[in-house]
Chain A
Amino acid sequence: AQSVSQHNHHVILSEAASLELGCNYSYGGTVNLFWYVQYPGQHLQLLLKYFSGDPLVKGIKGFEAEFIKSKFSFNLRKPSVQWSDTAEYFCAVNPNDYKLSFGAGTTVTVRA
């Protein structure tokens, strides 16, 4: 079955540590890839997206993600996290069928 997998359910780290969240998908063909973030009490916001071109995409707040087609992966990274990055992060895939399929989400807790 087609799916989106996020490897970590909950990540806890200290400020200034580096963050990497894994995302793998099982859709064949062309897909569009997204990372969304949900801060406590706020609605889902787009962090970054990949449609085509350079597989390394940069988003807001210092986040970036790398699309590796051969591995069906779209991992999210941030070199140095802040307390304000505490949130839930969702990887999503759109295989051009008018809907987003989401991973289960990763809760990131940054300790001051």
Chain B
Amino acid sequence: KAGVTQTPRYLIKTRGQQVTLSCSPISGHRSVSWYQQTPGQGLQFLFEYFSETQRNKGNFPGRFSGRQFSNSRSEMNVSTLELGDSALYLCASSPGGGADTQYFGPGTRLTVL
């Protein structure tokens, strides 16, 4: 099976812009989670979607949002970008979420100038 794919792999934006990142889960997986990885804060949970519904959300401002489509593909959006949003954004998929093992994609490296 193909693994989790994320596009784009690299992105450079300027402050105030918005950005949309995409994630395609492993075939058959219905849960998609998003994480932010930075040197200072490590890996932090953003949100999790299952069957197009958000089931859990991390402690991030409302500028961070996401959605999931009927084919389980997911997007996350960050509006009004700030310098501190520069990070590696990771997507993970699992069959049903909950306690299932999560499989990670390669990430999207976002740089905000």
Residue-wise interface mask of A (83-105) relative to B, using a CB-CB cutoff of 8 A (1 in contact, 0 not): 00000001010101111111111
The secondary structure that dominates the B interface is strand
Q: Does B98 contact A (CB under 8 A)?
A: yes
Contacts of A100 in B (CB 8 A): 33, 35, 43, 45, 92, 102
Q: Does B48 contact A (CB under 8 A)?
A: yes
The answer to whether B99 touches A32, judged by C-beta atoms less than 8 angstroms apart, is yes
Classify chain A: how many residues form its interface, as a range: 20 to 34
A36, A42, A45, A51: which contacts B99 (Cβ < 8 A)?
A51
Classify chain B: how many residues form its interface, as a range: 20 to 34
Q: Does A17 contact B (CB under 8 A)?
A: no
Q: A43-B107, A44-B90 given as contacts; is B48 within 8 A of A99 (CB)?
A: yes
Scan residues 32-80 of chain B and give those whose CB is less than 8 A from a CB of chain A.
33, 35, 42-45, 48, 50, 55-56, 58
The answer to whether B48 touches A98, judged by C-beta atoms less than 8 angstroms apart, is yes
5 example contacts (A-B, Cβ-Cβ < 8 A) are as follows A43-B104, A44-B90, A100-B43, A100-B45, A103-B42
Contact surface of B with A, Cβ cutoff 8 Å: 31, 33, 35, 42-45, 48, 50, 55-56, 58, 90, 92, 97-99, 101-107
